[in-house]
Chains A and B, each alone.
Chain A
Amino acid sequence: DVKVTQSSRYLVKRTGEKVFLECVQDMDHENMFWYRQDPGLGLRLIYFSYDVKMKEKGDIPEGYSVSREKKERFSLILESASTNQTSMYLCASSFSGIGQYFGPGTRLTVT
């Protein structure tokens, strides 16, 4: 069974704090993704990575950065959290052409 884990299920941070969200997959997938999901807007891609140290911007990269130093690990960084980054963050991984597998999500609240 594919397993994608995320470092926290729930997180509360203050405006201006630096936030790290970590994602680990155990299936040797080359592709990893970070999305946010908001009511009425669906899933929106923030960044993805198709190899170690490689990253590509998604649809809404502003305010975020990512790091992929090891194949199994993909980190999302909010350099200075803002209230409009309150959301559900979902990590996913895949082989090319095969469906994605998602982690359980991190519900981030920025106050």
Chain B
Amino acid sequence: RKEVEQDPGPFNVPEGATVAFNCTYSNSASQSFFWYRQDCRKEPKLLMSVYSSGNEDGRFTAQLNRASQYISLLIRDSKLSDSATYLCVVASNTGNQFYFGTGTSLTVIP
């Protein structure tokens, strides 16, 4: 079983739409969770960390459900510039190993 699983998509949504991505993880001892964004032919960039209480950064909201072992990313009022691949990442309980999902592709359409 994979450490982290994501729906690969693709998600094609119109500008202004709200879109949500989910990701499940297998190790209940995992301590840290992140969402990364990767543009075509570029490196992944840290979008936001995910905290137990949930956290928001502008149009982006991340949530963690430890009981069900999943994390989510919600993007409100989608912009064309949000088009990218979004990677779910889970860190080990030691904090020095990271497990990546294969990514979810998002295209925002005018």
Chain A residues within 8 Å of B, Cβ to Cβ: 30-31, 33, 40-43, 45, 48, 50, 90, 92, 94, 96-105
Contacts and interface: CB of A to CB of B under 8 A. Distances in A.
Contacts of B91: 97
Given A48-B96, A50-B96, A102 B102 contact: no
B94 interface: yes
Contacts of A43: 44, 87, 100
Counting chain B residues whose Cβ lies within 8 A of the other chain, the interface size class is 20 to 34
A104 B94 contact: no
A9 B99 CA distance: 25
Contacts, number: 50
Q: Please provide the 9 A-B residue pairs with the shortest distance between their CB atoms, ordered closest to farther.
A: A97-B95, A96-B95, A42-B102, A102-B43, A99-B46, A43-B100, A99-B34, A31-B96, A50-B96
Given A48-B97, A50-B96, A103 B89 contact: no
A43 B100 CA distance: 7
Nearest to B85: A42
Interface string B74-110: 0000000000000101010011111011110000000
B1 interface: no
B49 interface: yes
A103 B46 CA distance: 12
A85 B27 CA distance: 30
B50 to A, nearest CB: 10
10 contacts: A30-B96, A31-B96, A33-B98, A40-B102, A42-B87, A43-B87, A45-B97, A94-B96, A94-B98, A101-B46
A104 B42 contact: yes
A14 B74 CA distance: 45
Contacts of A30: 96
A97 B96 CA distance: 7
Contact of B31 (A31, A33, A97): A97
B43 A104 contact: yes
A103 B43 contact: yes
Contact of A99 (B31, B89, B97, B102): B89
